[in-house]
Amino acid sequence: MDSILVKGGGALSGQIAIAGAKNACLTLMPATLLSEEPLTLTNAPRLSDIRTMTELLRSLGAEVTSLQDGQVIAMSSHAIDNHKADYDIVRKMRASILVLGPMLARDGHAVVSLPGGCAIGARPVDLHLKALEAMGAELELRDGYVHAKAAKGLRGGVVDFDFASVGATENALMAATLAKGTTVLNNAAREPEIVDLANCLRAMGAQIDGDGTPTITIQGVDRLHGATHRVVTDRIELGTYMLAPAICGGEVELLGGRIDLIAAFCEKLDAAGIDVSETPQGLRVKRRGDRIRAVDVTTAPFPGFPTDLQAQMMALLCTADGTSVLEEKIFENRFMHAPELMRMGARIEVHGGHATVTGVDKLKGAPVMATDLRASVSLILAGLAAQGETLVSRVYHLDRGYEHVVAKLRGVGANIERIHGT
C-alpha cells in the first residue's frame, strides 16, 4: 500500500488548478442510463471513484470511454442488457446507488446491492427508496439487494424528504425526468452538484424547475436525448487547497475557484484571519497574520458549512490561537481524524458530535493513518504545517477524491512525495 511523506515547514506560493467535482461527476455519469443517445462529460476529475462508476456502468451494458487523459468521459447507454448492480462493485462506493433511479425510470426494473463507501456512519438509503416509492415503484429488500419494479413505468408524485439528502435528491430527480406527470421534491438538497445535475438533465431535454431551492418540480418527458456537459468545479477540492496557504502561510491562487460554491466556508476563513479574494481566474488565499484565530464551525447541508471540509478545517484550527468547537451535524461518526491529529500533538477532545480543539503553537510530524477520504487529506494539510516528517499511510482513500495531490502541492512549493508499496 502506498504512503505519502510530508516534510512540514515552508510557506506556499503559486497556483493550483481545481478539477471538476467528484460528487457531481458521480451523479452525472448514471444520467447516461436515462437516454439511448450519447452523454459526454468534460472537465471530469481523474479519480478511482470515477473508475469504479465506469466499471459499474459497463457492467450494466453502457459504453464508457475515457478520453483526453480522463478529462472527457464519453458514454452511451443504447443497449442496457443487465439491470443488476452487483455487490462486488457497489460495496466499493456508496454513490453506486445512483444507478437505481435511472434504470428503474428507463426500463421499469432494477436490482441494486445496498452500498458501501466511507466508514463515516450508518448511511442508510431509506430516503432514496421512499422517494422512488412515492413515484410508484414497488421495492423489496432481499439478500442485501434492493429489488425495484415499476411495471407500468414510474408516475409523478410528491416526495417530502425528512432530511435534505444529496443522493436521495439526485436519484429522485433523475427518476422523475422520465416519470409520467409532475413530481415535486420538497425539502430537496440544494448543493451545487444538484444544480449541475439539473443543468445536464435540462440539456438532455428534461423539464426541471427550482433546483438550488428546497422545492424542485419536474415535468416528466417521454424520452431524453444526448448532450455534452461540463462538470462544475469541485468545491471540496477547492476548499481543501484553500486551507494549504492558510495553514502554511504564503499565497496561493486557486484556478477555477468560485466563492458562490463555498461562501459559508469563506466566512469562517475570514473569521480565522484568512483573506480570500476573487481574481480573473479564480480565488486567491493569503493568511493575514502569523497566527490563525479560533472559530466555531457547525456543518450543515448547503449553503451551510460542508461536512466534507470539516476534517480539513480541524487541521487548520489545531494551531489556532484559542479554542474552537466543531460540531458535526451530517454524519454521526466523522471525527476519526481527531486521534490521528492528536498523534501530531493536537489538543482535541471529542464528545459525541462535538470536537473541542485547543490550538497549539506547532504540530509535530508523526506516522499517521488515513481513515477516510477527507480525513486523509486533513492529515496531509496538518503535515505541511508540522515540524518534521509526517508519513500518511492507507492513501488509497485519498485517490478516491483528489487527483494528482502530490503534484498539485509540489507545484506550490510543498515538500511532499508518494512512497510506493509501504
Question: What amino acid occupies position 27?
Answer: T
Kindly identify the residues of this chain, within the stretch 69-108, that bind ligand UD1 according to CB under 6 A: 94-95
Q: Does residue number 378 form part of the binding site for ligand UD1 (CB under 6 A)? A: no
- Using alpha carbons, select from 234, 224, 175 the residue that is nearest to residue 203: 224
Q: Of 23 and 390, which has the nearer Cβ to ligand UD1?
A: 23
Cβ neighbors of 412 (< 8 A, separation 6 or more) are: 12, 13, 14, 15, 16, 244, 245, 250, 252
What does the alpha-carbon distance between residue 64 and residue 32 come to, in Å, rounded to a whole number? 10
Smallest gap from Cβ 250 to ligand UD1, in A, equals 28
Catalytic, 200? Answer no
Kindly identify the residues of this chain, within the stretch 124-143, that bind ligand UD1 according to CB under 6 A: 124-128
CB 197 within 8 A of CB 29: no
Binding test (CB under 6 A) with ligand UD1, winner from 165, 233, 310, 312: 165
Q: Which residue is nearest to ligand UD1 (CB)?
A: 167
Binding test (CB under 6 A) with ligand UD1, winner from 121, 144, 289, 322: 121
Q: Coil, strand, or helix at residue 350?
A: strand
Handedness of CA 169, 172, 178, 184 (dihedral sign): negative
Q: Interacting stretch for ligand UD1, rule CB under 6 A, among 5-13, 121-129, 257-265, 276-284? A: 121-129
Q: Does residue number 396 form part of the binding site for ligand UD1 (CB under 6 A)? A: no
Question: DSSP characters for 136-165?
Answer: T-EEEEETTEEEEE-TT--B--EEE-SS--
Helices (H), 91-205: 100-107, 126-134, 166-177, 192-203
Q: Interacting stretch for ligand UD1, rule CB under 6 A, among 102-110, 163-171, 178-186, 277-285? A: 163-171
Q: Does residue number 234 form part of the binding site for ligand UD1 (CB under 6 A)? A: no
Binding test (CB under 6 A) with ligand UD1, winner from 6, 19, 23, 257: 23
Out of 25, 118, 248, 318, pick the active-site residue: 118
What does the alpha-carbon distance between residue 416 and residue 422 come to, in Å, rounded to a whole number? 16
CB 269 within 8 A of CB 313: no
Q: Interacting stretch for ligand UD1, rule CB under 6 A, among 79-87, 116-124, 144-152, 343-351? A: 116-124
Binding test (CB under 6 A) with ligand UD1, winner from 168, 254, 297, 341: 168
Question: What amino acid occupies position 174?
Answer: M
Q: Coil, strand, or helix at residue 332?
A: coil
Max CA distance (Å), the chain: 65
Q: Does residue number 375 form part of the binding site for ligand UD1 (CB under 6 A)? A: no
CB 357 within 8 A of CB 324: yes
Q: Does residue number 307 form part of the binding site for ligand UD1 (CB under 6 A)? A: yes
Mask: binding to ligand UD1, 321-340, rule CB under 6 A, as x and -? ---------xx---------
Q: Does residue number 154 form part of the binding site for ligand UD1 (CB under 6 A)? A: no
Smallest gap from Cβ 301 to ligand UD1, in A, equals 7
Please identify every residue annotated as catalytic.
Answer: 118
Q: Which residues sit at the interface with ligand UD1, rule CB under 6 A?
A: 23, 26, 94-95, 121-128, 163, 165-168, 307-308, 330-331
